[in-house]
Amino acid sequence: MNQRFRFDNQTVVVTAAGNELGQAYARFFASRGANVIVSDSYKEASEIPGAADQVVQDIQRTGGRAVVNHDVVTDGEKIVQSAIDAFGRIDVLINNASLPRDIEFEHIHDVDWDQANATLLKGAFKCTRAAWPYFRKQKYGRVIFSTSTAGLYGSPGQSHSAAMGSALVGFGQTLAGEGAKYNILSNIIDPLIAAPTTGGHLSWNTQSAEIAQSVIPLVAVLAHSTTSENGSVFDVGGGYMAKLRWERSSGLLLQAGDTLTPGALLNKWDKIADFTQAEYPTGPVDMIKKLEDASKLKSNDPGEAIRFDGKVAVVTGGGAGLGRAYCLGLARLGAFVVVNDVREPDTVVNEIRAIGSKAVPNRTSVEDGAAIIETALSAFGRVDIVINNAGILRDKAFANMTEQQWDHVLNVHLQGTYKVTHAAWPHMLKQKYGRIINTTSTSGIYGNFGQTNYASAKAGILGLSRALAREGRKYNVHVNTIAPNAGTQMSRSIFTEEVAQALKTDYVVPLVLLLCSDKTPSPSTGLLFEVGSGWQGRTRWQRAGGQKWSKTHGLDPEQVAERWSKITDFQGQGLESPEDIETGLKPILADAERKNKL
């Protein structure tokens, strides 16, 4: 057969090449003419000791060119340098690390979280950042990120890998925008494979040769010089391939004023989740236009009163902006509030006390979440509501992004959300009640130039939230995620002062208060909302009908390219909007069931 997809004179770097998928990548690209760096530190749980060395020997024995590298992925500059030393260039980077170990959130330790971060996210950052100057100089590069089904849809027992997998989506989508003018294209794949575990849910195992037969032909197309895909996400496995895109409901627009209340939203809740006239965006809603339209509407029926009497709420970043608005909104409706802010929580605490409600300050960094939750327990004896709102910006084009800038933003946003939530989690499970609101952003959903650190962190928060929603549901612990659009001190670096003044924080608060209550209609957990300017809508993945091959043995990229229009077809039959792990894995489960009957 004519091999259209060749990689002659190109250098491909494969990380975590000690697992079976990594080995298969290395063998395939070498067979198609590439020079290959087979990187395997022996330290990844999914890697097979000595496997990379054996792969290199096999490639060389058949006349191919390959070099082994044993640096850890967090030493990405050394991995990339090995490509430069051996072959003088790098053309394709496949970030292939995986984390197979499942741990329920209540049993997770910081070392588990840190390992997931280092292996999946920080390693991808370090390797990609090291390769970036070479890609830019040669005006050519292809980057593949491997997320997971847990990262896209959430899965119990996989909160750490879900967070990092989702973060890679935000990372890849943002890089796609930054690299396009240099012909550096970035795409994200979700290698689907499922097997029952003792926990009664589903887990993934990249040691399967079968998954490699499905994944490699797709990756070869995405890594080739002829591809035009950029910033795209694909589900792939079991002979199934399909592209994903974002789907946003038409949403609910109400007058943005004093009658914009939680009860007003509750009256028309169905419209928030109405996807009958959905749009398929690549960026945020035009909130200025929404505000103009909202100003023409009549006053809202305030609806049912929502109260939080006896409930204890913790709000991070509560000293100003959205955090202040949340604190005051909760306090007015009866909640006791812990106002966390590293700068100045006392002003908001005094405002709350002035209206006859109870509040206490906390100045601890969100990276010490246990101390924040201890403040709630010491002052009020319990914690019912957590709103993870604290954040910072350190925007920089990826070519100029330092490791410190990356770490600082990830530590506050993603690590901080994990630390505060993890400290509150056992108390919520014990009392069989909890409401957690986590804050992503449209940068995390769609990507945004100059914000690889921020977009990655915010996308990671979404993945964490979806996993926790699955774990917490049976304990009446609900976890939802919002992407707010409001004029705050942080957003003033993006918006003009006039726009920031128009996008009032008060227009975000009613949805958050409703989600913190007991009144949210089912489904009431694991959801993503965009909100601001009197408008609130739901956002979710939509998956193309895709292409299914009954046999994967011998499947090659040439065949995949022939069916590309099917893989990326959002007009035909078979469209799905997966919002849980079961729907996400349905093509693979159906294939497994079919094979079991043979």
> Residues with catalytic annotation?
454
**Which DSSP category does 169 fall into?**
H
Contact 153, 469 (CB under 8 A): no
> For residue 379, what are the contacts with CB-CB under 8 A and spacing of at least 6?
336, 338, 360
Q: What is the largest CA-CA distance in the chain?
A: 80
Q: What would the two tokens of residue 395 be?
A: 């925007």
C-alpha–C-alpha distance, residues 340 and 329, integer Å: 15
Asked whether the bond before 523 is cis by omega within 30 degrees of 0, the reply is yes
The residue among 218, 94, 76 whose CA lies nearest residue 144 is 94
For 286-338, what is the HEC assignment? Answer: CHHHHHHHHCCCCCCCCCCCCCCCCCEEEECCCCCHHHHHHHHHHHHCCCEEE
3-class state of residue 96 by DSSP:
coil
Query: What are the residues whose beta carbons fall under 8 Å from the beta carbon of 248, sequence distance 6 or more?
Result: 278, 279, 280, 281, 285, 530, 537, 538, 539
Q: How far is 410 from 418, CA to CA, in rounded Å?
A: 11
Strand residues in 527-578 grouped as ranges (E): 528-532, 535-543, 547-548
DSSP 8-state symbol, 520: P
Cβ–Cβ < 8 Å for 418, 162: no
Query: Residue 199: what residue type?
Result: G
Crossing angle, helix 452-472 and helix 403-410, to 10 degrees? 30
CB 462 within 8 A of CB 508: no
Nearest to 235 by CA among 311, 146, 352, 359: 146
Instruction: Tell me the sheet residues that pair with 35.
Output: 11, 65
User: Among all chains, which residue has been given the structure tokens 């990756």?
Assistant: 219
Please name the amino acid found at residue 435.
Answer: R
Place of tokens 């204890």: 312
Tokens read off for 139: 């005006």
What number of CA atoms fall less than 13 Å from residue 43's CA on the CB side? Answer: 14
Q: What is the distance between the alpha carbons of residues 358 and 354, in angstroms, rounded to a whole number? A: 9
**How would you class 323 by CB atoms within 10 Å of its CB: exposed for 0-12, middle for 13-18, buried for 19 or more?**
buried
At 351, list the tokens.
Answer: 């405002």
Would you say 48 and 55 are in contact if contact means Cβ atoms under 8 Å apart? no
- Cβ neighbors of 67 (< 8 A, separation 6 or more) are 35, 36, 37, 38, 56, 82, 83, 86, 87
Alpha-carbon distance of 478 to 524, in angstroms, equals: 7
Owner of token pair 């804050």: 439
In whole angstroms, how large is the CA radius of gyration of the chain?
Answer: 24
Measured distance CA(164)–CA(461) in Å, rounded: 9
